[in-house]
Structure 1
Amino acid sequence: MEKNFLEAEEVEAIEVSIEADTLTQNGNASEEIELLDRCYENEVYIEEEEICTLAISCTDYDSCIAWGNAVIAELEESYGSLVLEESVATGDEGITVLTTYDVDNENEAIYTNANISKEEMDYHANLWFSFSWLIPEKYRKDINKFEVFKSGDTLAYVSLHDKYGKYWTLGMNNKNIELASETLVTYLHEYAHFLSLNHTQIDYWKGEKSCKSLYLQDSGCFYKEAYLTDFYSKFWESGDHGELQDFYVSKYAMSSPEEDFAESFAHFVLTQTPTGDTVREQKLLFFYQFEDLVELRTEILSRASTWVVRSVVENE
């Protein structure tokens, strides 16, 4: 593995810490710290995205896995599980779109011609920023529309909005999700759909009869090298599925290969590397075979650590 695994300048190794001493275990802020207008000493400022992230102190595949596990352990000690959920309902049924925005990823801004108040605009911008904080800009450039909707149970969705399968829309419920952990899982779940269903993964011009590889009714014809082609062949093709706790990370993952992939990806990022041999654990280990996904995990965790600290304090 080359030393420039993360394609970043070398930095001094910094002990993993999220400055938990400035917070009590239930998230109360120290009066001396103004969290939202500066970075902690162990964080770096990304000017283009106007966010603070934890300084990454790893340079290759193995050290980045270990670094990510240490970050997760620290966050879990302070805030509990990062994957605690009450509902992960997604999809675009039973929703009413309130406002649609164009996303300028380069300038980290959203725009609309809709007649809405500044208060609504600010709230919607914060919803988008909450998602974009977690996902580095280079990985989400093709998500260039954003919709805010109301719905009784749907939390979020992603959908194509061009016939070539390149550009995507992210939809988010207007109602704020109460659990920070559920917000994290929801964002990564939806990003995993984009990651696994975009034009580099699916041949949108082939129907079921002409497809020579994996065809899924709700998605299309996957290329042979697609993530889901491999995932399906390992975990769904045989039809051998057992109890929830041994085969799936959540009940929602049982509904389809696409949802299983998305839920498993979120747990791959937000939980420590498993050491067991259940099918459930093998699904998480599946992602570790891809160096680019381990790199993505590392970058997301550097952001999730600062996102969690500020989200907990801001919601107090």
Structure 2
Amino acid sequence: MMKYCAFLLVAILQFSLDANVLQAQVPARRPARVMPAEQRADRLTTEGLALMRRGRTTLAQAKFQQALRLDPQNVRAHLAYADLLLKENKSLAAYDHFTKAMKFSPAGAKDRDRAAQVIARLRSQHPEWFSRVQPRPVDAGKSAQRQTHEPLPGGQTPAVPPRPNGIKPTLAVLPFAAPGSDSTLGVSFSEMVATAMINRAAYRIVERRQIEHVFQEQALGQTGALEAETAVAVGKILGVQTVAVGNLSQLEAGYETDARVLNVESGEALLASHAQAASSAQFREAAESLAADLSAKVGNVQNSLQPDSAAVAPAHH
């Protein structure tokens, strides 16, 4: 019995020694290498194109959207998504992505030329969205007044007193672009701005459900900020005089937000404003700050609108 126990102990020790030797010979596992966002976006775009060729457009769309959230300047993803939207007769959303593809493509690139051709075709097919009324020429007597509309350094615009008994301009507050992939953050913030604007009663604010209907109908707002021309086209569909667009930027010290009010007829920026928030808990205060600034400058908007631009959409009063 003693010999058997001794033999068993020796065997256990030998097994333990062999296991340690084998473990020492196995190389340490390397940490998984994280693929850069640009490469992941390219891979997702390739997968989306393959799905698109097989007719699986819903899955392809999800791939393109994911790619653009990872890399908002990915020209290949913008073009692929634009082609899909065009096939589904979502012309305005396709226009927006072709515009982004052209903006992010280097000069002389083949992709840039193709995007420009499609943009020109869409412009001619949809003059109701893209026709522009040129800003009125400014005579010498009003030049000083016109100069007060120019933005100040830092994105602010000086206020012009509102016209006595002036008509309140109609305004659609479009969803703000948000940092990262959380588009709901920008939507929530824009709703706070719209509510604050309603309470100040300087503009007639379009109902949120009307904006949502247009965005859903046109397949907009899935991959970040709209181009200015697209935002103006949304304003034309809504039948408003002005649209407010903006973005949230996340910084080390919190958030910054910038907003602009665009003239739907001419496409020019009428106002610019800026606010900060130390955290998302202070978004409402930042929204109130933007609303106060834009409302105080309603006179700028009244002076800039065409006299006959009296488009009226159902709105809050």
TM-score (norm 1): 0.24
User: Could you say which structure has the larger radius of gyration?
Assistant: 2
**TM-score (structure 2 length as normaliser):** 0.23
Higher relative contact order (CA 8 A, sep 6+): 1
User: Which has more helix, going by share of residues?
Assistant: 2
